[in-house]
Amino acid sequence: MEMHFSDAGKMKRFILIVDDEEINRDILGSIFEEEYHIFYAQNGREALEIIQENSSILSAILLDLMMPEMTGMELLEILKNKNILKTIPVLVMTADEHSEVDSLKIGAVDFITKPYGMPEAVRARVARSIELFEDRQFIRATGMDELTGLYSRSFFYEYAQMMDRYQPDIETDAVVLDIEHFHLVNEIYGRDFGDEVLCEISNAIKTYLKETDGIACRSNADIFLLYTEHRNGYDDLQEQVSEGLQHLSETPHVRVRIGTYTGSKPDIEMEQRFARAKLACNTLRGNFMQNFASYDKEMREKFIFSERIINDIHDGLNEHQLVVYYQPKYDVSGERPRLSSAEALIRWNHPEYGMLGPFSFMPLFEENGLVQMVDEYVWNESAKQIRKWKDTYGYAIPISVNVSRIDLYNPNLGAEILAMLEENGLGVEDMYLEITESAYADNAKQMIAAVEKLRSYGFKIEMDDFGTGYSSLNMLFDLPVDVLKMDMRFAQHIHENPKALQMVSIIMDIAETMKVPVIAEGVELKEQVDLLKESGCRYIQGYYFSKPIPAYELEERLERDV
């Protein structure tokens, strides 16, 4: 059964009967007195006073048009200008058909013909008008965001789908507008100021939509959705929002990102279109040179790839599709380079995409919190491989494995890695732990404490990507580290750029002061090897000696060493 707001409770509503003839007031009073509380007025001026004092409780106004002092038409015009007709339905009472049309144009919702007909029909007409009006008010209340006055999320989607039904040939855009780091605005300036920001942005959106055919809603705390006719860009929307925020005093720097998805194909659900627009919007995070992005074929393929990779990771681990490769590190301090250790690097032999390098999936896993699973897999596979080499050759070189910054938040990390090594009959001297320089800058005190705890177990810590600029000089000498791995960009330009060579010399001086050795990554040419060796660098890793190779190829090098 259809449920209306007016069905809730059998409350006795208030109505106002406005008529200059007492007999008409008495007739209408007798018709409605059992079901309604009634106010009476003899003319428009008296009615206006009653309306102004009781507008919050009135459910309907029955208005005669021909009255002294202020006519019904004059009262209707006043009520229209005061927006009262939006909250209280008015039914006019007249025998003049022309007046009926005129009053309906002004804002009356219905009319009652004089002389009055059957009381049941008059009562039904008034009850139906009240019911429809209250239903509309209820829909308006539930369909609006209380703070901004924009549509609510659910009402917005219904309305957007209706636009598609009635305008199937119009190309449309699903638009997502997101405020970057909005939580900081609330934390620094307070929630009231944050609400002001949201209201200014919503007002700018309303102004923008007056010039276009579209609708908008506030989807989440700081995300707005627009559904509008297609356009090539949204610079004008960005400008409207910026101008709106300038009205606020002490306005912080608020950056707004806009992502769009174009197309109104019936096979793509409305929420999916906005999900794609949000995906485009998310690609702008941290990109302060660009505020607008549109979902395209390349983004779609990347999204599908990402979803597939995330969904397949468990099978990849369980079926050993993930393979550990090893890149050798050579000690060049003697007359002849000597294999000293190797770095474990992950590859994925995916059943559909083929052999994937780590840069195609590891950043994705770091974003989604799946990187720990992959790290643990690499540690275990490397430990088993070291054990195999020791059993075969009687010795093995140490293997460096990567420890992601999220791993460092595990308070039992050291104990767990040590237990894994002991399970394979290995010790801490068999596995080095590589931690990127950037990890030390992420909550430095906590990270340093976590690394110190690892060193207390006896692990050697290699700082990867050293020189990328994350470490501040005043904390450099407090870093718990046993080896510096110089970022590959230095070695790659050392033979052709004197500044790069000078930077290498500076890094070597820092390492000497810290009393730790340096490993140079990304070395590809003999000239680079010679210059690094002259600078005092002892260990080299890069394609000059070897690219990352499968375990069996590294075994061949071990055999030659034996």
Domains in the chain with CATH codes: 5-142 (3.40.50.2300), 153-295 (3.30.70.270), 318-561 (3.20.20.450)
Q: Which residue has the tokens 């600029």?
A: 469
Q: Which residue has the tokens 């809603």?
A: 217
| Res. 9 pLDDT band, cuts 50 70 90 | very low
Query: How far is the CA of 344 from the CAs of 324, 389, 434, 549, in angstroms?
Result: 6, 15, 10, 10
Q: Give the pLDDT of residue 178.
A: 92
| Res. 252 pLDDT band, cuts 50 70 90 | low
Which of 64-73, 182-191, 264-273, 322-331 comes out lowest in average pLDDT? 264-273
Our measurement of the distance from residue 498's CA atom to the centroid of its chain's CA atoms, rounded to an integer in Å, reads 44
Q: Give the pLDDT of residue 5.
A: 33
Long-range contacts of the stretch 496-504 (C-beta < 8 A, 24+) = 501/531, 501/535, 503/467, 504/531, 504/532, 504/535, 504/537
Query: How far is the CA of 458 from the CAs of 44, 411, 452, 454, in angstroms?
Result: 93, 16, 10, 7
Q: Give the pLDDT of residue 43.
A: 94
* Joined tokens for residue 157: 């989607």
* Joined tokens for residue 450: 């976590």
CB atoms under 10 Å from CB of 116, counted, come to: 14
Which of 77-86, 239-248, 404-413 comes out lowest in average pLDDT? 239-248
* H helix or E strand, kind and range, residue 381: helix 371-393
Contact 112, 99 (CB under 8 A): no
Q: Give the pLDDT of residue 138.
A: 65
| Res. 496 pLDDT band, cuts 50 70 90 | confident
Helix axes 371-393, 413-423, angle to 10 degrees: 30
Pairing of strands 399-402, 461-466: unpaired
- Residue, of 444 and 424, whose pLDDT is higher: 424
Which of 26-40, 455-469, 526-540 comes out lowest in average pLDDT? 455-469
pLDDT in tens, 96-111: 767 778 888 888 988 8
Q: Name the pTM for this structure.
A: 0.64
Distance CA 390, CA 528 (A): 33
* Dihedrals phi, psi of 106, to nearest 5 degrees: -70, -35
Contact 221, 197 (CB under 8 A): no
Q: Give the pLDDT of residue 3.
A: 35
In the chain, the amino acid numbered 63 is L
Q: What region, left, alpha or beta, does residue 200 occupy, with left being phi > 0 and alpha being psi -120 to 50 degrees? A: alpha
Our measurement of the distance from residue 504's CA atom to the centroid of its chain's CA atoms, rounded to an integer in Å, reads 41
| Res. 352 pLDDT band, cuts 50 70 90 | very high
* H helix or E strand, kind and range, residue 518: strand 518-520
Q: Give the pLDDT of residue 4.
A: 36
* Joined tokens for residue 202: 């919503």
pLDDT at 11 exceeding the cut of 70: no
Q: Give the pLDDT of residue 2.
A: 34
* Joined tokens for residue 389: 């080499």
CB atoms under 10 Å from CB of 304, counted, come to: 10
Give the chain's mean pLDDT: 87
